[in-house]
Structure 1
Amino acid sequence: MMIPNQSFFFIFFLSVIFINTLASPTHQRDALLEFKNEFPFNASDPRAPPEAPLSSWNTSSDHCSWKGVTCNAHSSEVISLVLEYTYLNGSLKANTSLLKLHHLHHLTLYNCDLIGEIPSSLGNLFHLRHLNISDNNFLTGEIPSSIGNLSYLSYLDLSHNYLVGKIPSSLGNLSRLTVLDLSDNPRLIGEVPPSIGNLNQLKIISFYSNKLNGTIPSSFANLNKLSYLLLTGNQFSGGDLPLILSNLTSLSYFDISDNHFKSKLPSNMSGLHNLEVFRVNSNSLIGNVPTSLFTIPSLRLVSLSENQLEGPLEFGNTSLASELPYLDLASNNFNGPISESISRFLKLEFIDLSNNSFTGPIPGSMSKLVSLDDLNLSYNKLEGRVPSFLWRMSTLMLSHNSFSSFEELSQAVVNGSDSDHGSNSFQGPVQFDLGSNSLHGSLPRWICKRTSLALLDLSNNHLTGSIPSCLMNCTASLGYIILRNNNLSGFLPDIFTNATKLRSLDVSRNQLAGKLPKSLINCESMEYLNLKVNKFKDTFPSWLSSLESLSVLFLGSNAFYGPISSHLGFQSLRVIDLSNNSFNGTLPQDYFVNWREMASVGEKDGFTSSDGIDTFMEHMGGGIYEDSMDMMYKGVDTEFPLILLMFKAIDFSGNKFTGRIPKSIGMLKELRHVNFSRNAFTGSIPSSLANIKNLEALDLSHNKLSGNIPRDLANLSFVSYLDFSHNLLQGPVPRSTQFQRQHCSSFEDNLGLFGLEDICGPVHATSGDSHQSEEFSSEEAEEALSWKAAAIAFGPGVFCGLVIGYIFFTSHKQTHMVHGKARLNHPGGIISVR
């Protein structure tokens, strides 16, 4: 029988043996090998690397020399395990052998293809100071609350996974934590626990791209060592920003963009003397912007766009030189003149003040901003002359204002040799958008000096005179020429010999005349050509069919004449408008055989197509370009808003075509809009039209068509507008929901038609009264002309692109309008169309 002291020493002796066994090199090596074997390598997996991961982990070498392993120099205990880009392709087990590494200080399993859940047993690695299990896209489950037991932890990164649930409040126990990164876990929800505000050693909090909501805890005001706070891309709705921000005096990076914050900014922000980045865009912030924000000399970026901030804007008087290069205040409610004090930010390179209510002229003091290269003042109420110093920019957006004229340029500025601006003033691609102003006079010839011009938009102004031939100097780089809706006259100059990059040419709604320049055949990248509403007098330009990328061709409302070639091969054409010309002759029955794009059916006509929205956004580079289009409806050329959708359409209305409508029209199975009205077509309506299953609008009115309306047209379930009026049709009107919803006027002046009782009523259906075509009541007209817009898109580069479209007709559907513009949400950002 042992005496008590002997028992104590015996137990102590066994404990020493046990601890030494756990810490022995052999035990540490075996624990690592067990961990390796928890992830069996499957060489047949297509994602597997050429050789097995952790192949250096074997008994032929000291475990302290293995990849990612660091040991204590004296005891050989594993104190750090760092595995990055290691293909484990398995889950961490609840009893993982890592638990045997009792002295582990640092654990990183970055981008290791881990799956499953984070085991709560990791909370038993009590000596951990650094834990990084980020970038494992298939790692799911909740954040274990047991992590709150790791009292020595100073670094925690669980970002870029697929974790779910709420942030455990136990993380507020990690009193030594300096970095907390839970970002990009798109199923992480709920409110931020107030206990996080107890971690007064925190320097970095990153919670971006989750689904966190609620308010930011007021306890965040305790985090006076916080340098980075990133909350962008969540669903936060509020928080006491004045209180919190006023106390975060160490803050250098603050980003709460893309949330739903409803708050004011602090009235005094001068205490944030280390602040470099301030991003609060895309929220619902209200009130004024404190002048003190702009007096912080360390600022590098300010983004306040897409809020409800208001009032005149003053930039304050800073005694220190500002280093601010980036200023974005777009889409707010700022008013009054642009302050002359903006010139104090001499390092500014980017300014966006668009979509506000700024008034008056552009301040002359901005000429001091010699580094400014990108300026967007569009959608304001600015007026006066466009200052000459702006032409040194590479991106100049001044559209939708009230500018009246161009200030004359000195020859030095035109040649790019102004001593104030350096010799590189005109280097790189240049984009000028001055559309929708009140500009008068002729196109300034100095534009021709910008040989790297990529976009020129002077549409919707009052410009006169001719298009200068010297634009040939720019056409080698030009991707977009948009001069629509002016008073330009003369000929379209023959300037396109080197225009191989030109993707869009829009000179519609001018007074241009003569023939089309044959040099257009060199525009091998051309996708969109709009010559509508001019005075062009020429035969049909069949030679344009050699442009393999041409998708949209608008020649309507000109003086084109003569027959159309029967050998067309517009393989990429999606939309063609030949309306209101003097084209004549017959169309062969096989006329549409080679129009392959309109006949194609497949993924490429949807939003996942290679030539659809992905290409559009890629070309746009994340920017937007706004446009609208017009098409004929009931003899009225009308402009409509556009939404980014794909469609295909044909409009041959208002010409002198004779003979039968080609039966090959039925081969164009992807058509949405067909208009052959106001011609002299004869014969029967081709039954092949019933093959166009997605047809939404069909207008065959004002012809000499005879016979019956094909019964199979009743099966066109998407049709919302039909017009067979003013023909020689006879027989029964097909019975279907689509036909019954049409107005009586869609069938008028066809004395042989019968079965109209359900559409016109018994009196009108039998009387033959010529007055049965009375105008719609205002209520009926409003319903019949509710539009659903569809469009095809093309994009040029940053802040470029083109959206065009056509209209088909629906009931009780309206394009959602915001401030006169239709808007469509998209992952690349907001796309606006007018």
Structure 2
Amino acid sequence: MMSSNQYVLLVFFVSLIYHNTLASPWLQRDALLEFKNEFPINASDPDDPINSWNRSTDYCSWEGVTCDRNSGKVISLVLDSFYLDGSLKTNSSLFSLQHLRNLSLDHCGLRGEIPSSLGNLSHLRVLDLSNNHFDGEISSSLGYLNQLTSLSIGSNNLTGRLPTSLGNLSRLTQLDLTDNHLDGEIPPSFGNLNQVLSVSLSMNNLNGTFPISFLNLTKLNALYLFQNQFTSGDDLPLFLPNLTSLYYLDLSYNHFKSTVPDLSGLHNLLKIDLSGNSFVGNFPASLLKIPSLEAVYLEGNQFEGSLEFHNASSSSVDTLLLSHNNFSRVSESISGLAMLSSLALGYNSFVGPIPVSISGIPNLSQLDLSHNGFTGPIPGSMSKLVYLFILDLSYNKLEGQVPSFVWGVYGLTLSHNYFSSLEKPRKVVDDKDSIDKVSFDLGSNSLRGPFPQWLCKVRLLEFLDMSNNHLNGSIPPCFLNPPFLKEVSLRKNNLSGFLPDMYSSQELKSLDVSGNQLVGKLPRSLIGCNYLEFLNLKGNNLRDTFPSWLRSLERLRVLLLGSNAFYGPIYTPSSSSTDFGFSTLRVIDISHNNFSGTLPRDYFANWLEMSSVWKGEKDWSDLPMYEGNQMDRGMYENSMVMIYKGVETEFSEILLAFKAIDFSGNNFSGEIPESIGLLKGLRLLNLSGNSFTSSIPSTLANITYLEALDLSRNNLSGHIPLDLDNLTFLSYMDFSHNLLEGPVPRGTQFQRQNCSSFADNVKLYGLEEICGPIHVPDAAPPQQPKDSSSEPEDVLNWIAAAIAYGPGVICGLVIGHIFNSHKHERLMRRFRRNNPSGTTRVH
């Protein structure tokens, strides 16, 4: 029988052999190569960094691999942005690298559950699995990694509750679980993380109140809990004033409903964000007692009353965002905020003149007073704000002359007021070395007189909106040629004369001069605007042939030529079918002109953009609505007026999924091209008021997402295709005043139409039991475009929705919805500073 001493000796030798075996260089190398082979790596791709892993080189020199100098053990594996594209297996050879201290697999395309085997890497100090596609719950085995100092699993698809075991990580200094789908309450065990410096649990579904054990986190520098479901009961968590080491506190976009307690004891605080909650009471002036505080975000709450700044003189606050509250008065003490550079007071309840005290803030560079009830002129004292860079006074009741000093501001938004004239600037912004461009928004005022010639001198002009005013005279030939000009809207004025040439406007993306009295031809210089996406010339007196030459503009998405005097065919026979139409257009409106001629069967064969189904169309709940470039977030920002579901409707913004063709009110003849059925992404089709003949093409049944169809006032004959029953989104249709015959399809969307949609088709039958005889002897006259000057501004005509009863009504409401135009917000986004901690912030 083996003695105890012999047994201990045997265990020692076995352990030694085992230890040395694991540390053997060739076993370390093979483990790495096995790990590599667990993923579908393209071995022939020389740019893939993991292809440096091969037997012919020292594994310690492989990219992403770090070894201990003495033992040769792999102690660090940093494979950030190595696109592995697979899952981590429970028995992965990765877990045989027992001496790993640092494992970073950020942005590796990993999916599936996080394996519990990770808990066996007992020497790990840093674990980063962020920006992947991991799902399922967080493995409780991660709580066994008692050497861990940093744990990052943010931006995945993790669900379930926070494991209590994570409270065992007593050496943890950084915890980031941001942007997942975690729910439930924060476990009390998190109070044991007494070494933690930064905690980010933002962008989850966490709820409940905070555990009192957070009082133990006395070293905490940064706490990010934004975009969750936390509540506060009567007060904010009692532990907050005790976290005196805090630099950054972000509790925004939760469900806190209370007053803000005295937080002046947080003497190290640099930034506090409580926006997007339901905090009440007066402005928490105690925050200004914190000498280090630089940024205060309190937007989107229910604060009210007067803004008092009793401790302004000692404050270091640089950014103060108080928009979307109920403040009603600004105290004179605001001028004491000597360090303040960004002030946002938009969407409050201020009335009367703009407070002169604001002009006493010496370093103010960004000011938002929009969406209030300010009246009177812009005070001359604001000329003292010599550093002013962004000024937004939109949506107030300001009047009089726009003073000359504001033209020194790079981002100026004065829209939706009652300004009547512009004082000529003494000096325009023209810093040739500036990287910032100039933006002037003067839309929807009462400006009168000729177009200001001095705008030609603003060389850095990038954006100009002077729409919905009373400007007259011609557009100066020099105006449309600033080298950086991207967006121009002069719609709904009284401008006349010719549209100037645009020889230098190579960056122009959007031009809207609709609703004026312009004459002549389209300037052929438009062909040089290679970035043009939106062109609106509707409602003028332009007389020209169809501009087929514009199809060379590969970025053109919206072309609106309606209600002019264009004439002739839109199709000219050619040897190549690729000359048909516009492959990139999403919306075209050439209605109410004098176009004529026939269209070949394959006319729409090359309209590729309308043939594709936009990726967001199948699931309306996933439509992108985040901030950023308007085209990127799924919206056209530009305004357009179209006949939508029988009603002339103004869209201030519209989803990119909206694809439309309006050829109505012309003199087209012959058959409707069968290739129209290729346009599967089309939402609106209006061919009314022409002379189309023959039968309705059955291929229309292929336009799956069609919502509005108007074929009225033509000479169409034959039957209404029964397959149109399958168009479940079709909620508005008009076949009236044709020569149609036979039964009306029995689909629900047909049976719920107004009877006038089928009027004056003598041989059509099938609706007798609903509305009686549908024959109307006298054909209705062609619909004339409304006078845009008499149209209420930015009106959502809900008649368009009310007449839509069928299954497409929900989709129709989404597409037909008119969003308020907030062009000023592109400027005010600059108020938001980058999060100092590096944590991603989404608003």
TM > 0.5: yes
Does the CA contact (< 8 Å) of 1:786 and 1:813 recur in 2? no
Does the CA contact (< 8 Å) of 1:651 and 1:675 recur in 2? yes
Residue of structure 1 in register with 2:389 after alignment: 373
Residue from 472, 483, 488 that aligns with 1:481: 488
Distance 1:435 1:530 in 2: 16
Query: Alpha carbons of 1:680 and 1:116: their partners in 2 closer, same or farther (altered >3 Å)?
Result: closer
Residue of structure 2 in register with 1:470 after alignment: 478
Does the CA contact (< 8 Å) of 1:545 and 1:569 recur in 2? no
Q: Secondary structure at the match of 2:313?
A: coil
Residue from 298, 303, 315 that aligns with 1:304: 298
Once the 2 structures are TM-superposed, how far is the Cα of residue 483 of structure 1 from its aligned partner?
1.4
Residue of structure 1 in register with 2:249 after alignment: 254
Query: Alpha carbons of 1:340 and 1:816: their partners in 2 closer, same or farther (altered >3 Å)?
Result: farther
Q: Secondary structure at the match of 2:196?
A: coil
Counterparts of 1:740-759 in structure 2, within 5 Å, are 740-759=751-770
* Amino acid in the other structure paired with 1:596: W
Does the CA contact (< 8 Å) of 1:403 and 1:437 recur in 2? yes
Distance 1:145 1:707 in 2: 70
* Amino acid in the other structure paired with 1:266: V
Residue from 290, 301, 305 that aligns with 2:284: 290
Counterparts of 1:12-411 in structure 2, within 5 Å, are 27=20, 30=23, 40-42=34-36, 45-46=40-41, 49-52=50-53, 68-70=66-68, 81-85=75-79, 90-91=88-89, 107-111=101-105, 117=114, 119=116, 122=119, 125=122, 130-135=125-130, 137=132, 142-143=137-138, 145=140, 155-157=150-152, 159=154, 164-172=159-167, 177=171, 179-184=173-178, 186-238=180-232, 240-241=235-236, 243-257=238-252, 259-264=253-258, 266-294=260-288, 296-314=290-308, 317-320=311-314, 322=316, 324=318, 326-333=319-326, 334-336=348-350, 340=356, 342=358, 346-352=362-368, 354=370, 367-379=383-395, 385-399=401-415, 401-405=416-420, 408-411=423-426
Distance 1:635 1:788 in 2: 10
Residue from 509, 513, 516 that aligns with 1:510: 516
Distance 1:521 1:745 in 2: 44
* Amino acid in the other structure paired with 1:733: V
Q: Secondary structure at the match of 1:742?
A: coil
> For residues 470-504 of structure 1, what are the alpha-carbon distances to aligned partners after superposition, in whole Å with 9 as ceiling and x for unaligned?
31441x32121111223x32224323122222221
Q: Secondary structure at the match of 2:102?
A: strand
Once the 2 structures are TM-superposed, how far is the Cα of residue 742 of structure 1 from its aligned partner?
1.9
1:521 aligns with 2:536: no
Distance 1:599 1:77 in 2: 60
Distance 1:584 1:158 in 2: 60
Distance 2:153 2:658 in 1: 44
Residue of structure 1 in register with 2:335 after alignment: none
Gaps in structure 2 of 5+ consecutive residues: 44-49, 327-347, 574-578, 782-796, 823-827, 830-843
Residue of structure 2 in register with 1:497 after alignment: 503
Query: Alpha carbons of 1:534 and 1:331: their partners in 2 closer, same or farther (altered >3 Å)?
Result: farther
Distance 2:419 2:306 in 1: 24
Gaps in structure 1 of 5+ consecutive residues: 417-422, 774-780, 790-806, 824-828
Residue from 583, 591, 600 that aligns with 1:579: 591
Residue from 731, 734, 745 that aligns with 1:720: 731
* Amino acid in the other structure paired with 1:720: S
Range 39-48 or range 511-520, more displaced: 39-48
Once the 2 structures are TM-superposed, how far is the Cα of residue 708 of structure 1 from its aligned partner?
4.4
Does the CA contact (< 8 Å) of 1:167 and 1:192 recur in 2? yes
Query: Alpha carbons of 1:367 and 1:14: their partners in 2 closer, same or farther (altered >3 Å)?
Result: farther
Query: Alpha carbons of 1:468 and 1:290: their partners in 2 closer, same or farther (altered >3 Å)?
Result: farther
Residue from 642, 646, 660 that aligns with 2:670: 660
Distance 1:32 1:682 in 2: 83
Normalising by structure 1, we get a TM-score of 0.75
Identity among equivalent pairs (%): 44
* Amino acid in the other structure paired with 1:51: S
Does the CA contact (< 8 Å) of 1:494 and 1:519 recur in 2? no
Q: Secondary structure at the match of 2:51?
A: coil
Does the CA contact (< 8 Å) of 2:128 and 2:152 recur in 1? yes
Once the 2 structures are TM-superposed, how far is the Cα of residue 760 of structure 1 from its aligned partner?
1.8
* Amino acid in the other structure paired with 2:423: E
Distance 2:816 2:662 in 1: 27
Range 38-47 or range 807-816, more displaced: 807-816
Residue of structure 2 in register with 1:429 after alignment: 437
Normalising by structure 2, we get a TM-score of 0.75
Once the 2 structures are TM-superposed, how far is the Cα of residue 584 of structure 1 from its aligned partner?
5.2
Query: Alpha carbons of 1:354 and 1:524: their partners in 2 closer, same or farther (altered >3 Å)?
Result: same
Distance 1:449 1:817 in 2: 40
Once the 2 structures are TM-superposed, how far is the Cα of residue 253 of structure 1 from its aligned partner?
1.2
* Amino acid in the other structure paired with 1:458: M
Distance 2:722 2:607 in 1: 27
Distance 2:117 2:616 in 1: 48
Distance 2:557 2:372 in 1: 35
Once the 2 structures are TM-superposed, how far is the Cα of residue 183 of structure 1 from its aligned partner?
1.9
Does the CA contact (< 8 Å) of 2:116 and 2:142 recur in 1? no
Distance 2:374 2:16 in 1: 71
Distance 1:817 1:285 in 2: 35
Residue of structure 2 in register with 1:414 after alignment: 428
Query: Alpha carbons of 1:733 and 1:215: their partners in 2 closer, same or farther (altered >3 Å)?
Result: same
Does the CA contact (< 8 Å) of 2:716 and 2:739 recur in 1? yes
Query: Alpha carbons of 1:37 and 1:691: their partners in 2 closer, same or farther (altered >3 Å)?
Result: closer
Return the index of the structure with the highest Cα Rg.
1
Does the CA contact (< 8 Å) of 2:376 and 2:399 recur in 1? yes
Range 447-456 or range 33-42, more displaced: 33-42
Query: Alpha carbons of 1:634 and 1:810: their partners in 2 closer, same or farther (altered >3 Å)?
Result: closer
Query: Alpha carbons of 1:197 and 1:598: their partners in 2 closer, same or farther (altered >3 Å)?
Result: closer
Once the 2 structures are TM-superposed, how far is the Cα of residue 565 of structure 1 from its aligned partner?
4.8
Distance 1:231 1:645 in 2: 33
Distance 1:27 1:489 in 2: 87
Once the 2 structures are TM-superposed, how far is the Cα of residue 641 of structure 1 from its aligned partner?
5.8
Does the CA contact (< 8 Å) of 2:21 and 2:27 recur in 1? no
* Amino acid in the other structure paired with 2:411: T
Range 381-390 or range 722-731, more displaced: 381-390
